[in-house]
Amino acid sequence: MKRIRDFINRADIRRFRFWLQLFFFVLFIYGGYFAINLGNSIPVFSCGYDRQVGGMCYFLPLQHQLARPLDVLFSAASISVLIGFITFLLWFVVFNKAWCGYACPLGTMQDWLTGLRKKMGIRYSTYTQPQFDKLKKIKYIMLALVILAPMGVGMGILGGEWRTAFCEICPGRMITPLFVGDVSQWSLDFSTKTAMILTTLGLIFTGLFVIGSFVKKRFFCFFCPMSAMHYIFSDAALLKLKKDGDKCTKCGDCYNVCDMQIKDIADDVKSTNILRDDCILCMKCVAACPEDDALHVDILNMKLFSSTKGGFAKRMQMDKLEKKDD
């Protein structure tokens, strides 16, 4: 048991993550070719506009369901909405926000762009703290759009183009189908003014997505409504990121490796549950922590992966460094 634990704690989480991300990327983007279908309540942006999708992003069916006329929505049909939502919760509860860090195809694409940038030797950008505090609120506005726009359609206030308003402006709709050779989403829809504005916004966000995630790690995840939705239910999740404040030396290593610039991970020594709304549970912070058990990922209150001195030394290749000094 101890040996297994040691093995996990000393594992090279980066390589593990790369392969797992690749696996999920293929599963979600090309799943249709292997006749895989995990349903349409997947809590990541595996876009339903990709015809070969191996499991659909929950927002597309959610928006369609909420766009039903209100009398239909609040009658027996709400059972189907509830079933979809419960399936979403069941998927989500197991992995918590690790869906973002390990499974989301759009996140994986951003990580690959980051890798490309690294290879080219270009430095990454960061936000200042005040900028960051303002920008992180955008995702809740997006979540409101996901829920309210289709309901407006159902009420008859908004036109039919608003049915999937968020999907229209989501970069995933344009980028994901590219991987199966479908460029039909790269167009402006001139059929109505609303459709034109929404598709134009979508293309603008796509452009920003590509450039933004090239210079800023996980650029889009700050604005992702799925991340906001995850956070609302994250207390109920089985997988948890925890911190033992007594063991923390506030060295700031975790903050430095964090793709999402979450300051609390280093600063907050009081709360045990350190998962914040921006967190993607990539576990980089746990891998980078040099203190024993200061940060750990728990599943059902059992330690799954925790920070250790040994693991830190191995990942930092300290033995090699020491040899060099000789």
Given a contact cutoff of 8 angstroms between Cβ atoms, the answer to whether 66 and 150 are in contact is: yes
Least CB distance to other proteins at residue 25 (A): 21
The smaller minimum CB distance to other proteins, of residues 128 and 320, is found at 128
Given a contact cutoff of 8 angstroms between Cβ atoms, the answer to whether 54 and 38 are in contact is: yes
Question: Interface residues for other proteins in 98-157 (CB under 8 A)?
Answer: 123, 125, 151, 154-157
Q: Which of 74, 131, 256, 309 binds other proteins (CB under 8 A)?
A: 74
Per DSSP, 104 falls in state: -
Show the binding pattern over residues 152-171: x = contacts other proteins (CB under 8 A), - = does not: --xxxx--x-----------
The rounded radius of gyration (Å) of the Cα atoms in the chain is 21
What is the SS3 assignment for 268? coil
The smaller minimum CB distance to other proteins, of residues 39 and 290, is found at 39
The smaller minimum CB distance to other proteins, of residues 4 and 35, is found at 35
Judged by CB under 8 A, which stretch of 66-74, 109-117, 254-262, 268-276 contacts other proteins?
Answer: 66-74
Q: Which of 1, 4, 76, 300 binds other proteins (CB under 8 A)?
A: 76
Judged by CB under 8 A, which stretch of 69-77, 162-170, 234-242, 292-300 contacts other proteins?
Answer: 69-77
In Å, how far are 253, 261, 275, 308, 315 from 290, measured between CA atoms?
A: 8, 19, 19, 6, 10
Question: Interface residues for other proteins in 185-244 (CB under 8 A)?
Answer: 186-193, 199-200, 203-204, 206-208, 210-212, 214-215
Burial class from Cβ neighbours inside 10 Å (0-12, 13-18, 19+) for residue 209 reads: buried
Token code pair at residue 71: 């009398």
Q: For 266-271, which contacts have Cβ atoms below 8 Å and span 24 or more sequence positions?
A: 268/243, 269/243, 269/245, 270/245, 271/243, 271/245
261 forms part of the interface with other proteins (CB under 8 A): no
Least CB distance to other proteins at residue 282 (A): 24
CA triple 309-288-42, angle to 5 deg? 125
The smaller minimum CB distance to other proteins, of residues 20 and 208, is found at 208
69 forms part of the interface with other proteins (CB under 8 A): yes
Helix (H) or strand (E) holding 302: strand 302-306
Q: Which of 8, 20, 78, 93 binds other proteins (CB under 8 A)?
A: 78
| CA separation for the pair 111, 116 (Å, rounded) | 9
Largest pairwise CA distance in the chain? 77
Q: Which of 80, 126, 129, 271 binds other proteins (CB under 8 A)?
A: 80
List of residues contacting other proteins (CB under 8 A): 37, 39-40, 68-80, 123, 125, 151, 154-157, 160, 174, 183, 186-193, 199-200, 203-204, 206-208, 210-212, 214-215
